[in-house]
Amino acid sequence: MSNPHQNAITQLETVAAVLRQSYEDKESFDAAIDQLKTPDRVIEGKLRIRMDDGKVKTFQAYRSQHNNAVGPYKGGIRFHQNVTKEEVMALSTWMTWKCSVTGIPYGGGKGGVIVDPKKLSQGELQRLSRAYALFVAPHIGPWTDIPAPDVNTDGQIMAWMVDEYETAAKKRYKTLVENPIATFTGKPLLLGGSKGRTEATGLGGFYVFENLAKKMKLKKGATIAVQGFGNVGYWFAYFANKAGYKVVALSDSRGGIYSAAGLDPEKVLAHKEAGGTVGSYKGKQITNAELLELDVDVLVPAALENVLTKENAGKVKAQLVLEMANGPTTPEADEILAKKGITVIPDVLANAGGVTVSYFEWVQNLQGYYWEKELVLERLKGLMDEATDRMWQLKNDTKVTSRVATYMSAVKKVVDTMLLRGNEE
Ligand code: NAD
């Protein structure tokens, strides 16, 4: 398995090589790029948790703060057995680009704990979440670093963390804890969450898709295959189906389903909620590998990283790949898809809807004034449309891929902000 942080560095170097030509002061540009290759700071430590059987267990925890030139570090906290320091560092780097792409005033951060949360009781999960909040408390705050949910963390976990940050952290560190509600996003509505956050990532991706469909002259009725039927995959499929596109394939971890006539995501969800699996819904059963190679107009990987590889990229038939998952395409696959003329919209643009509504949540928390859902979604559409238009314009002007164009505008904005601040002692 390739080192994700090395991938993030390689991506940055590729884009920097193109951008460099337009900078007069190459020395300062190079220094900024050098700084962006590694996070500003990685905080690591051990969380000691009392388990239900009375024994104490230790879990390794990280918080990577990549860059805050544009604004406070921002990014989720992942609870997963495969978390590594390199992964957290890479994810924090991608958050810097993701926030830059949509123009929200944040830098990038990410947190992680090496744990399989499925093996924890609710009580153990709560104690682990509180311990993590206490561990990062001296380094976070509404103007410094704003965590959020990521893989295996949710609104309930954010609620525990807000509470811990507000109470125990204040006692332990004897510091003034600033606005705990505005220090975490992805919170439940009752505790300062934003309306529209649940569907934000899938809907944001749909706004990107709809905009591109016009630019690429895709017709209503264009066929779509979606891998992954969780929060992101479901909402993307839901909005695409509602708008008249034909969702012909869906899948979850246990397999998928194909129907040339089209699938109604709401009905598939009802079937799943009644105890079924996506693969046992009526239609032709397919594997996750087959889904990626279907003869469809649009392919939407919305589950895992590294699913499009050098082994299967040559068999992709879609003309548009919308990366709703983080990192679904390996660099080798990316090259193959580019050679085939397939448009690949990178994750940092396609799935930026979630962090964008997180930003709206933070704004509402700071204002203490809450917006109606219509306003949240209208503003989400505005930012996603602008980001997509910007990427498309740059792609056409410079004849690069959508990924390179997206990264070019994201990296340029961060570098220019760093240069504006001046980066010398
Ligand atoms: P989720 O846990 O709600 O859903 C994941 C889905 O993927 C489930 O349907 C699961 O069954 C399926 N899956 C798991 N293993 C699979 C496999 N081997 N093959 C096919 N499907 C498999 O997660 P989510 O929040 O929907 O996130 C999905 C992706 O989107 C992740 O890469 C995540 O990092 C990214 N993402 C999520 C958000 C967000 O706001 N939720 C924001 C940005 C990016």
Residue 69 CA to ligand 1 centre (angstroms): 30
- Look at the chain and count its residues: 425
Residue nearest to atom 5 of ligand 1 (CA): 230
Which ligand 1 atom sits closest to the C-alpha of 351? 43
CATH homologous superfamily of 200-350: NAD(P)-binding Rossmann-like Domain (3.40.50.720)
Catalytic residue among 74, 110, 395, 413: 110
Active site residue 110: yes
Residue 325 CA to ligand 1 centre (angstroms): 6
Residue spans of the domains in the chain: they are 37-181, 200-350
Reduced to 3 states, what is the DSSP secondary structure of residue 76? strand
Ligand 1 site, residue 231, Cβ cutoff 6 A = yes
69: which residues sit within 8 A by CB, 6+ positions away?
107, 414, 417, 418, 421
* CATH placement of domain 37-181: 3.40.50.10860
Residue nearest to atom 32 of ligand 1 (CA): 325
What pLDDT does 175 receive? Answer: 66
Distance between first and last Cα of the chain: 39
Residue 302 CA to ligand 1 centre (angstroms): 6
pLDDT-flagged residues of the chain (< 50): none
Residue nearest to atom 8 of ligand 1 (CA): 230
Ligand 1 site, residue 325, Cβ cutoff 6 A = yes
What pLDDT does 7 receive? Answer: 84
Ligand 1 site, residue 227, Cβ cutoff 6 A = yes
382: which residues sit within 8 A by CB, 6+ positions away?
none
Ligand 1 site, residue 252, Cβ cutoff 6 A = yes
Residue nearest to atom 15 of ligand 1 (CA): 253
What pLDDT does 424 receive? Answer: 59
What pLDDT does 3 receive? Answer: 82
Instruction: Identify whether the C-beta of residue 263 lies closer than 8 Å to the C-beta of residue 250.
Output: yes
